[in-house]
């Protein structure tokens, strides 16, 4: 489960600043770009801030839009206020990157992805979702079944505040049962499609099904869920 040198070189060619896979490089990068509130946590329990593009797309809370389209009955564009007006879910869980770093006790709040899907009406031919980012670089995928897990959320709060721009705010995906790369930042669009389309990290070698326990599926629901 590692991204090879070829990929790292490709990323560098793209001007990647925030993505590095050697731990020493990674530490340099995380201190260089800052690590938000995670930086206040003791010891090694800190977020590394990742950005494939080397910069952060800045989208204001007022201008933020989430477009949901594809195999749905009612294609819908959600504002942040729309998302905040929907039933909210909050829980706390460790955030884990596949490269080994881990941040315990991260608080999240958002709306379940299943709730968003119910609003637009997923059609019977749907198999998977693809996710797009305002960075126009990262993409992700989930099967329809994975998208209905109760701890897969469209998140608008993290670490007890609005999600900061470096952490993917105003809105990011948070796929609690999977490694961090599934939790796409700066979420701009969700398309309901008829096949799984591997996302950016998967095209570079990470498993499409990024379960934290390395097995075939979640073992137990998130105990911290409220
Ligand atoms: N748009 C976008 N989302 C992304 C990434 C990225 O580079 N760009 N990196 C992923 C990876 S590998 C991880 S571990 C987490 C890191 O989240 P953080 O940057 O908030 O620490 O974001 C994920 N989502
Ligand atoms: Mo990651």
pLDDT digits (tens, 9 = 90+) for 50-74: 999 999 999 999 999 999 999 999 9
User: Probe ligand 1: pick from 2, 181, 203, max atoms within 8 Å of CB?
Assistant: 181
Which bound ligand lies closest to the C-alpha atom of 173?
1
Atom number, ligand 1, closest to the C-alpha of residue 158: 20
pLDDT band at 11 (very low <50, low <70, confident <90, very high): very low
Residue whose Cα lies nearest atom 21 of ligand 1: it is 49
Give the bridge partners for 134, in sequence order: none
| More confident position, 41 or 164 | 164
List of E strands, the chain: 65-70, 76-79, 89-96, 102-112, 128-133, 139-143, 152-158, 161-162, 172-175, 187-193
Q: Which residues line ligand 1 (CB under 6 A)?
A: 19, 47-52, 97, 133, 135, 138, 167-168, 180-181, 183-186
Q: Is the pLDDT of residue 108 over 90?
A: yes
Q: Is the pLDDT of residue 99 over 50?
A: yes
Please, what is the end-to-end C-alpha distance for the chain in angstroms?
A: 32
Distance of CA 187 to the CA centre of its chain: 8
CA atoms of 101 and 95, how far apart (whole Å)? 8
Atom number, ligand 1, closest to the C-alpha of residue 138: 1
pLDDT band at 156 (very low <50, low <70, confident <90, very high): very high
Of 176, 140, 175, 200, the closest CA to residue 3 belongs to 200
Residue whose Cα lies nearest atom 18 of ligand 1: it is 49
How many whole angstroms from 125 Cα to the centroid of ligand 1? 30
Q: What is the mean pLDDT of the chain?
A: 84
Residues sharing a CB contact under 8 Å with residue 206, sequence separation 6 or more, in sequence order: 1, 3, 98, 179, 181
Report in angstroms the alpha-carbon separations of 57 from 62, 136, 142. 15, 9, 23
Q: 127-136, 137-146, 183-192, 205-214: lowest mean pLDDT where? A: 205-214
Summarize the confidence of residues 63-89 as an average pLDDT. 98
CA atoms of 46 and 117, how far apart (whole Å)? 33
Q: 1-5, 22-26, 86-90: lowest mean pLDDT where? A: 22-26
pLDDT band at 214 (very low <50, low <70, confident <90, very high): confident
Q: Which domains does the chain have, with CATH numbers?
A: 5-203 (3.90.420.10)
Summarize the confidence of residues 197-202 as an average pLDDT. 97
Which bound ligand lies closest to the C-alpha atom of 52?
1
Q: pTM of this prediction? A: 0.82
| Residue 166: CB atoms within 10 Å | 19
């Amino acid at each position: 489960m590692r991204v090879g040198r070829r990929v790292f070189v490709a990323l560098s060619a793209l001007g990647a600043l925030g993505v590095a896979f050697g731990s020493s490089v990674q530490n340099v990068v995380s201190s260089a770009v800052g690590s938000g509130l995670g930086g206040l946590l003791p010891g090694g329990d800190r977020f590394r801030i990742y950005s494939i593009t080397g910069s952060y797309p800045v989208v204001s809370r007022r201008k933020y839009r989430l477009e949901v389209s594809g195999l749905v009955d009612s294609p819908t564009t959600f504002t942040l206020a729309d998302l905040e007006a929907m039933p909210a879910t909050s829980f706390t869980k460790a955030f884990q990157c596949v490269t080994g770093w881990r941040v315990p006790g991260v608080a999240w709040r958002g709306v379940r992805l299943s709730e968003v899907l119910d609003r637009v009406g997923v059609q019977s031919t749907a198999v998977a979702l693809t996710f797009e980012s305002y960075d126009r670089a990262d993409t992700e995928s989930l099967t329809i079944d994975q998208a209905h897990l109760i701890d897969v959320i469209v998140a608008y709060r993290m670490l007890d505040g609005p999600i900061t721009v470096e952490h993917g705010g105003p809105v990011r995906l948070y796929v609690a049962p999977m490694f961090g790369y599934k939790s796409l930042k700066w979420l701009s669009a969700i398309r309901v499609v008829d096949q799984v389309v591997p996302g950016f990290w998967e095209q570079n070698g990470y498993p499409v099904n990024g379960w934290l326990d390395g097995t075939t599926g979640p073992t137990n629901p998130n105990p911290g869920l409220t």
